[in-house]
Amino acid sequence: RPLLQIGYEPLPAYRGKTLFGKETLFYPNVFRYLKYVYNIDGVMGLYRGFGCTLLSKLVCWYTTTQVDQLLGPVEVIVPNDETKPRWNVCVKKTLREVRCQSWGILLSHPFQVMAIRCMGQFIGRENVYSSINIIQNFQEIYNKQGIGGFFVGLIPRWLLEITTIIISNVLIHMLKTQLPTQSEMLPLYEYFAAFVAQTVTYPLSVVTTIMTVNRSGLRAGMLPISPIYANWQDAYKQLSKTEQLKRGSSFFNRVAIGTFGLPAPGTPIPNA
């Protein structure tokens, strides 16, 4: 997905029709994309950055768990009222998750940066970052960008994670209070809330990936693959103007939105 979010589309777009019969351009589905990567780098190419990704998730999980334990048990309010106490519990639970997750994001972000750059260097055929040699990655980032290089893209990622928590918890609370609350319905509520939250916050995921490789020295963060952005707000604004904030959100029926990366006018485009 990071390659898709960066905007790397090595396979040509083709003509096709949407479910409503409208003719448009599509990018090949994710399986053809993976096949392309496999043909160039083999199996290892499909697992670029896996070690750093795993380490990032482990550090985030461990930190979040430890902070949660340090904060102690959540104070539970006896629901005398049918609405206000329940809402207070929702707010306290959300604030608790935000505090725990914030520490997890902060401490795991350097490994997230390494993971995305490991994947992104496929574009320029570089071998600067390693999926397993963390020391090498630390040295590369520090030499190129200093301490700040370990935290590029941190703010949009933090906004992404925190906004997802807030939207999910609020939606689940509303569904529980406004609709039947049978135990078998709770997983459905949670799935629906997570889907809505991830859909709303997805543009921040794209911006996080873009800013992680931008100005990194990798070709993935340079023209013509990617413009140079002043900051994450500038990236968000420019990607919004070119309709690129949904890059990589779909693995199938990948409609080519906007103009970035599309064939020049007059270029022959094959049909599906």
pLDDT of 243: 80
Contacts of 214 (CB under 8 A, 6+ apart): 152, 221, 226, 228, 229, 235
Give pLDDT, residue 84. 56
**Largest alpha-carbon pair distance within the chain?**
69
At 211 the three-state DSSP class reads helix
- Residue 99 corresponds to which tokens in the numbers above? 């505090």
Taking phi first (over 0 means left), then psi (-120 to 50 degrees means alpha), and beta for anything else, what does residue 153 get? left
Domain boundary assignment for the chain = 2-255
pTM (global) more than 0.85 = no
User: Hunting for tokens 């040699």 — which residue is that?
Assistant: 133
- What pLDDT does residue 268 have? 45
pLDDT of residue 244: 85
Which pLDDT does position 181 carry in this prediction?
A: 66
The CATH code that applies to domain 2-255 is 1.50.40.10
pLDDT of residue 262: 44
The confidence score (pLDDT) of residue 82 equals 54
Q: What is the pLDDT tens value at each position of the chain, 272 positions in all?
A: 788 888 888 888 777 776 676 777 888 888 888 899 899 888 888 888 899 999 999 999 999 999 988 887 766 555 555 555 577 788 888 899 999 999 999 999 999 999 999 998 988 888 899 888 999 999 999 998 899 999 999 999 999 999 999 999 888 888 877 776 666 777 888 888 889 999 999 999 999 999 999 988 888 888 888 888 989 999 999 988 888 888 877 777 777 775 454 444 334 444 44
- Give the containing element (helix H, strand E) for 259: none
| Angle 1-28-246 from CA coordinates, rounded to 5° | 45
Q: Give me the pLDDT at residue 65, please.
A: 93
Partners of residue 15 on adjacent β-strands:
25, 271
pLDDT in tens, 233-256: 999 999 888 888 888 777 777 777
Given this model, what pLDDT does residue 156 score?
95
**How many other C-beta atoms are found inside a 10 Å radius of the C-beta of residue 183?**
6
Angstrom CA distances, 28 to 32, 35, 129, 245, 270, stand at: 6, 11, 28, 19, 12
